[in-house]
Structure 1
Amino acid sequence: MPIIVRPAAPEDAPVICDLLNAVDVVELGRPETDLATVESSLIHPEADLERNSWLAFEDGALVAYGLLWDDSGAERIDADHYVLPAHQEAGERLLGLLQTRAAGRAAENGAERAVVHLSLNTAPTMDTSRLTRRGWRTVRRYHVLTRPLSAAADPVPGPPTGLTLRDCTAEADRRRAHELLQESFAEHFDHQRRTYRQWLDDLGQGIDWSLVWIASLEGAGDVGAALSRDDRAAMAWIRSLGVRKEARGRGVAGHLLRHAFGVYAARGRDTIGLGVDTGNTTGALRLYTAHGMTLHFAVDTWELTLPAATPA
């Protein structure tokens, strides 16, 4: 049957969400994608859906979806790609469109090449031999970790001596949290610096700023921050947790983590999760596993380098 491809539009969010949850069921065993997450990606101010998104339909049903975005403004280009297992030809067609557009976007940025990253479950619905034949290779692995919560086992902890936390309900503290997280992650693999406005756009709707915390140490000032959110149906989520380099090893990250456990347990959540780079050199993976977090699933970053090229 013919494959029909067209750009996505904001009103496609429900059908895209259904596709992503069908992929989740195959890869994770249950649906974990929320409609609000899909909607946010489609209405992001930097989204150019006409040029950077693709929906593939077979017999009227959505079977594959691709989205490209460019946080670097240079050679680094990111892509999302989802395909149902029985529709690999449609998936590969979108992959080709993604690659062509990535090369064009890099050229628009004035770069000589496009370095494209694509994140996929380690047991994906996509036939990865189609990636390797095109020159893609895995360059990094991330773990999504989860931990059960209960009010009895996870009370909100008191802070260690000299350490205080405050939330970010005030605009000035939101800006400070942005600064702290940008600094904390500056040397991490694949970090793309974002302005405050861009960061807010990336977060989308649904942020409860009382669930974003800044950590301060006596004599050192603000040293770290944690950004969490309670708008996912599957679990509470810690999006970012970072500590400035000079304050690491002083228990700040551990306290922020335990504070999140306690707060979400008190809110009635039974599970909390986060993502971590397994190649992280700050000890983050060890910290999280030491606090009882276990592997939910793993994600590989696939990379392809292409010469920048303006479409004819």
Structure 2
Amino acid sequence: MFSLLRPAALADAPAVAGVRNEIDLVEIGRPETDVHSVEADLRRPDVDLRRDSWLALDGDRPVVYGLLWDDSGGERVDIDHYVLPDRQEDGLLVLAAMEARALEKARGRGLAGLLPRHAFAAIAARGRDTVGLGVDTSNASGAPALYARHGMTLHYAVDTWEVVLR
């Protein structure tokens, strides 16, 4: 398990290049990452290193590196995720943090609205003129409001009760 997880900094470029070159050796048989390329990545104008980069260290040795950015104008979020072969568990922990940040960056861009619009179009194309779905009306994620924004109205609501017997 890594001893420290922190954001990467420009000064880490040589160490990050080292991690990437270790992986290059495994994947393609030769080191291919230069420090200048890493520095360029770390200087991306659309990256806040404090929130969009991760460097996992085992002592002083970098074992996982991650960088997240969006240069698509909101169409997608890209990530680089480099994990030394013997550090897969560490890589999964960093990946989980990166996925949480990617979801945070994507939130509010209308991505959730694509699903009902696509589904409604597909259902209408099959000749249906009505569609319904069940949702927890106390849903903290805002799902009921999302569906209302896409033309759905409350047809009926049901309270469901349960008890867990042990």
TM-score of the superposed pair, with normalisation by structure 2:
0.64
Q: Once the 2 structures are TM-superposed, how far is the Cα of residue 112 of structure 1 from its aligned partner?
A: 2.9
Q: Give the 3-state SS of the residue equivalent to 2:68 in structure 1.
A: strand
Higher helix share: 2
What pairs up with 1:89-128 in 2 under 5 angstroms? 89-107=89-107, 110-113=109-112
Q: Once the 2 structures are TM-superposed, how far is the Cα of residue 2 of structure 1 from its aligned partner?
A: 4.4
Distance 2:90 2:76 in 1: 25
Q: Give the 3-state SS of the residue equivalent to 1:32 in structure 2.
A: coil
Q: Give the 3-state SS of the residue equivalent to 1:86 in structure 2.
A: helix
Contact 2:81 2:95 in 1 (8 A): yes
Q: Give the 3-state SS of the residue equivalent to 1:39 in structure 2.
A: helix
Give the structure 2 partner of residue 165 of structure 1. none
Q: Find the structure with the greater CA-based Rg.
A: 2
Q: Which runs of 5+ in 2 are unaligned?
A: 113-140, 142-166
Distance 2:2 2:42 in 1: 26
Contact 1:22 1:84 in 2 (8 A): yes
Contact 2:52 2:69 in 1 (8 A): yes
Q: Once the 2 structures are TM-superposed, how far is the Cα of residue 58 of structure 1 from its aligned partner?
A: 1.5
Q: How many residues align?
A: 113
Q: Once the 2 structures are TM-superposed, how far is the Cα of residue 75 of structure 1 from its aligned partner?
A: 4.4
The one-letter code sitting in structure 2 at the alignment partner of 1:33 is T
Contact 1:67 1:79 in 2 (8 A): yes
Percent identity reads 49
Please give the root-mean-square deviation of Cα atoms over the aligned residues, in Å: 1.6
Contact 1:15 1:62 in 2 (8 A): yes
Give the structure 1 partner of residue 150 of structure 2. none
Distance 2:36 2:25 in 1: 19
Give the structure 2 partner of residue 183 of structure 1. none
List structure 1 runs of 4+ shifted beyond 2 angstroms: 72-75, 110-113
Higher strand share: 1
The one-letter code sitting in structure 2 at the alignment partner of 1:82 is Y
Q: Once the 2 structures are TM-superposed, how far is the Cα of residue 60 of structure 1 from its aligned partner?
A: 2.5
Give the structure 2 partner of residue 13 of structure 1. 13
Give the structure 1 partner of residue 41 of structure 2. 41
What pairs up with 1:76-87 in 2 under 5 angstroms? 76-87=76-87
Distance 1:75 1:43 in 2: 21
